[in-house]
Amino acid sequence: MNAGKPLTIVSQNEKILSLMQRIEKIAPSDSSVLLVGETGVGKEVFADYIHRYSQRRDKPFVKVGLAAMPADLLESELFGHEKGAFTSAHAEKKGLFEIADGGSIFLDDIDDVPMPIQSKLLRVLESGELMRVGATRPIRVDVRLITASKIDLKLLIERDKFRSDLFYRLNVVPMHIPPLRERSDDVPRLMNYFLENYGNGKPLPVTPRAMSALQRYSWPGNVRELRNVAQRLALFAEKEIDVKDLPAEIAHSGGLDVLLKKCQTCFYEDAMSFSQVMACLEANLLKQALAANQFNQSQAARHLKMSLSTFRDKLKKHSILLSDSL
Amino acid sequence: MNAGKPLTIVSQNEKILSLMQRIEKIAPSDSSVLLVGETGVGKEVFADYIHRYSQRRDKPFVKVGLAAMPADLLESELFGHEKGAFTSAHAEKKGLFEIADGGSIFLDDIDDVPMPIQSKLLRVLESGELMRVGATRPIRVDVRLITASKIDLKLLIERDKFRSDLFYRLNVVPMHIPPLRERSDDVPRLMNYFLENYGNGKPLPVTPRAMSALQRYSWPGNVRELRNVAQRLALFAEKEIDVKDLPAEIAHSGGLDVLLKKCQTCFYEDAMSFSQVMACLEANLLKQALAANQFNQSQAARHLKMSLSTFRDKLKKHSILLSDSL
DNA sequence: AGTTGGCCTGCGGAAATCCGCAGATTACAG
DNA sequence: CTGTAATCTGCGGATTTCCGCAGGCCAACT
């Protein structure tokens, strides 16, 4: 974290650091940027970062989520309309492109844009001008375009759902933001950062066991989910955060959840029998107990509340070798 | 769905229909609205709906996500700044409140707003004017405020993290948007709607089994997650959508996942032994097999690939009664 | 060097599990 | 109503599972 620079991207992951260096290099250039990454990875945060480092930092930065909007509403929203252009157009309206004139515009979920809107976006990019709905004269706009997609747009192009010519103009600078599970090394520092943030500057310590569970979790909701968890922890946790304070799906991320996912293949995909599934579950439970107890069979058996003899009989039954190179 | 009205809220759930009726009633009133609901329920879509039904529909509707922004950046973003107000303020800048003048502004994640920003927001609401950073004269603004929170702000007030006076001004019209899992009856129509949307108007049929799995799933990411799933299905599915086309966590939502969740309580929270956990898993598997086979023991045993005798022995072992009123 | 505690190993007996079988019952088609 | 097929039921034998026990090994302590 650089002193004096307002920075919301907390990371020491080399993929992210490399992204940030690239951003600092291209931000002043005014090139269109396409950010690709899963929901919750922080595409908007990266867009902010780009805008901050651009020459347009003192101009408007308008953000639009494109999903869930019908084409006609979206058109009006982005490009504005003239009075009387349609029944409910009681007055002329500036679109967000006009509002952003001189600055930047961030279009989230570009993969969700209907074809007619794609055409108009292309025109803006090619000619630097737009037509309001119902207008006869174009309006010039000077806007830097930053877009975001949660999937690879090439998939849509292949299926004729996205214009390749528009794609090439958007994709001048492509940037892939990795999901949080691919940079779990950042989980501890992100969690500590948000906890301090929500704790009014007072850091709230996390036990090593809790931090391990947080790091093991797959974070399907990415950084947004982590931030939400941090917010709740900062509200409800007392002196420090232990495993018992974590949401169930995270606290158990090292437990039967993992176990079950291992056995789903058994039961559904491989159409195994009841006894095979139970055997699979059992074998995995035994292995986990061993690993968790440094391969001390006596401790592992006590952990599972069974006798050492039973434990050993089961290891033999499942041909489980005594090694930490399983 | 009303013909002729642009409507993005697809639902026949009575909670949602009642919300929509309430919105249509209060939208013209210019009152501040506070939307509360989990991430992904579509708070922004409801905000759009409110703006559409207001007298300000032809004025700007600016949306801001407040999370993940440091206070000083956010302040500048919302309220603008004067040239020289700070080192990197090379020119004067209009804030988003000014840009939205005459229209509406939507502030998402209001629960994430730092105290200093809360103070300035309160002033805007109380006096109808704001001070740019570094300014000596206030600027009048006429903006309708719609805010969104993913948690109950009263929790923050209790912990002195949110100003109660600001809350009362924001919460003029409170609206709770239920999570998708509380209106699973909408899942089929939402899925069909999005599939048609992404399928260029061509509806893609979903088998009853697949639709059951979709309806059983808990949708932690709410409508956003459902839409993302629909988008992928529309891209990759062939003639119709069956269970095998669904993501693993949805396809299996009726299987071992549920089973495991039942047993998590056993192993972790109740500190049960290995044999107790296995017994718990076993009992639940047997019950599920019975229920899935209309309480026909022979079929259930074949389903589990075990002999009828074994099956019956196990039912006895676990004291499982033969009834569909379990 | 001797003692103590914990772990590992193999073994045997009691209990539990698995499943085939025969007869009774039920549901369905003609 | 009859015949057939499927299901249900109780039982007993073979197999598997559970676990206590005794002896050996190892590390730590006195």
Boundaries of domain holding B208: 182-251
Asked if B173 contacts B164 with a C-beta cutoff of 8 angstroms, the reply is no
Q: List the structure tokens of B237.
A: 């599915």
Q: What is the mean pLDDT of residues A67-92?
A: 82
- Cα A296 to chain center, whole Å? 40
The CA distance from B238 to B240, in Å, is: 6
Task: Specify burial of residue B224 (Cβ count, 10 A radius: 0-12, 13-18, 19+).
Answer: buried
In this prediction, residue A256 has a pLDDT band, given cuts at 50, 70 and 90, of low
- Does residue B132 approach strand C to less than 7 Å at its CB? no
Please name the residue whose C-alpha is nearest to the C1' of nucleotide C17.
B310
Nearest nucleic acid nucleotide to A294, CA to C1' distance: C7
The CA R_g of chain A, rounded to the nearest whole Å, is: 26
Domain membership of residue A57 (yes or no) is: yes
Using DSSP's 3-state secondary structure scheme, residue B63 falls into: strand
Give the residue on A whose Cα is nearest the Cα of B46. A68
Whether residue A166 has pLDDT greater than 80: yes
Question: A115: closest CA among A162, A67, A66?
Answer: A162
| Same domain (yes/no): B28, B119 | yes
Shared-domain flag, residues B230 and B270: no
Nucleotide nearest to A307 in CA–C1' terms: D19
Give domain status of residue A2, yes or no: no
Q: What is the mean pLDDT of chain A?
A: 85
Q: Which helix (H) or strand (E) segment is A23 a member of? A: helix A14-26
Is B240 in the same domain as B224?
yes
Specify the amino acid at residue B61. F
Q: Which of A176, A204, A238 is the last residue of a domain?
A: A176
pLDDT, greater one: A33 or A86: A33
A321 touches strand C (CB under 7 A): no
For chain A, percent of residues with pLDDT exceeding 90: 32
Residue A290 CA distance to nucleotide C7 C1' (Å): 14
Establish if B322 belongs to a structural domain.
no
| Other beta carbons less than 10 A from residue B5's beta carbon | 9
A62: domain CATH number is 3.40.50.300
Domain assignment present for residue B3? The answer is no
How many whole angstroms separate alpha carbon B102 and alpha carbon A88? 18
B38, closest residue in chain A (CA to CA): A228
Cβ distance B111 to A231 less than 8 Å, yes or no, reads yes
Side chain identity at B4, as an amino acid letter?
G
Residue A304 in domain = yes
Closest CA to A284 of A254, A309, A306, A307: A254
| Burial readout B236-246 (b: 16 or more C-beta within 10 A, e: otherwise) | ebeeebbbebb
Q: Do B256 and A248 touch (CB under 8 A)?
A: no
* pLDDT attached to residue A325: 36
Of the two residues A325 and B232, the one the predictor is more confident about is: B232
- Cα A207 to Cα A188, A231, A288, B214, B269: the distances in Å are 11, 17, 21, 37, 19
Residues with Cβ within 8 Å of B302's Cβ and at least 6 positions away in sequence, in order, are none
Tokens standing for residue A115: 């074809």
Q: Is residue B5 part of a domain?
A: no
- A306: which residues sit within 8 A by CB, 6+ positions away? B273, B274, B275
Per-residue pLDDT reduced to its tens digit, B255-304: 666 666 666 666 666 667 888 888 888 887 888 788 778 888 998 898 88
Residue A172 and residue A37 share a domain: yes
Are residues A148 and A47 located together in one domain of the fold? yes
Predicted local confidence at residue A261, as pLDDT: 66
Q: Which of A54-58, B127-131, B257-261 is the least confident region? A: B257-261
Residues B294, B127: Cα–Cα separation, whole Å: 67
Assess if residue B211 is contained within a domain.
Answer: yes
Q: Which residue has the tokens 């989520």?
A: A65
What kind and span of H or E run contains B247? none
pLDDT in tens, B205-247: 998 888 888 988 889 889 999 999 998 898 887 788 988 888 8
Q: Where does the pLDDT of residue A268 fall: very low under 50, low under 70, confident under 90, or very high at 90 and above?
A: low
| Residue whose tokens read 């006096």 | B127
Average pLDDT over residues A3-31: 80
Q: Take residue B48 and report the two structure tokens written for it.
A: 């759009």
When divided into structural domains, chain B yields a total of: 3
If residue A246 lies in a helix (H) or strand (E), which one and from where to where? none
Minimal CA separation from B69 to chain A, in Å: 6
Mean pLDDT within B296-314: 91
Confidence of residue B110 (pLDDT cuts 50, 70, 90): very high
Write down the pLDDT at residue A258.
65
CA of B293 to C1' of D2 (A): 29
Cα–Cα distance measured from residue B229 to residue B215, given in angstroms and rounded to the nearest whole number: 13
- The β-bridge partners of A173 are A33
Tell if B322 CB is < 7 Å from nucleic strand D: yes
Do B280 and B293 lie in one domain? The reply is yes
Tell me what percent of the residues of chain A surpass a pLDDT of 70.
Answer: 90
List residues bridging with A33 in a β-sheet.
A146, A173
B282: the nucleotide nearest its CA (via C1') is C17
* A286 and A313 within one domain: yes
Indicate if A116 and A37 belong to the same structural domain: yes
Averaged over B78-82, what is the pLDDT?
Answer: 89
The mean per-residue pLDDT over the stretch A88-114 comes to: 88
Chain B residues with CB-CB distance to A112 below 8 A: 231
pLDDT averaged over chain B?
A: 85
Please indicate, yes or no, if residue A210 is contained in any of the structural domains.
yes
Query: Is 80 exceeded by the pLDDT of residue A200?
Result: no
Q: Taking residues B10-16, what's their average pLDDT?
A: 89
Q: Higher-confidence residue: B20 or B88?
A: B20
Element (H, E) at B31: none
Residues B69 and B213 occupy one common structural domain: no
Q: Which strand C nucleotides have any atom less than 7 A from protein CB atoms? A: 6-12, 16-21
Give yes or no: residues A202 and A160 share one domain. no
Residue A20 has pLDDT above 70, yes or no: yes
C-alpha count within 13 angstroms, C-beta hemisphere, residue B218: 6
Q: Are residues A117 and A241 in the same domain?
A: no
Together in a domain, B18 and B165: yes
User: How many residues are there in chain B?
Assistant: 326
A151-155, A275-279, B4-8, B250-254, range with the lowest pLDDT:
B4-8
The minimal CB distance from A255 to the residues B151, B198, B267 is found for: B267
Residue type, B60: P
pLDDT score of A3 more than 50 = no
Nucleotides of D under 7 A from a protein CB: 6-12, 17-21
- Say yes or no to pLDDT of A323 above 60: no
| pLDDT surpassing 50 at residue B178 | yes
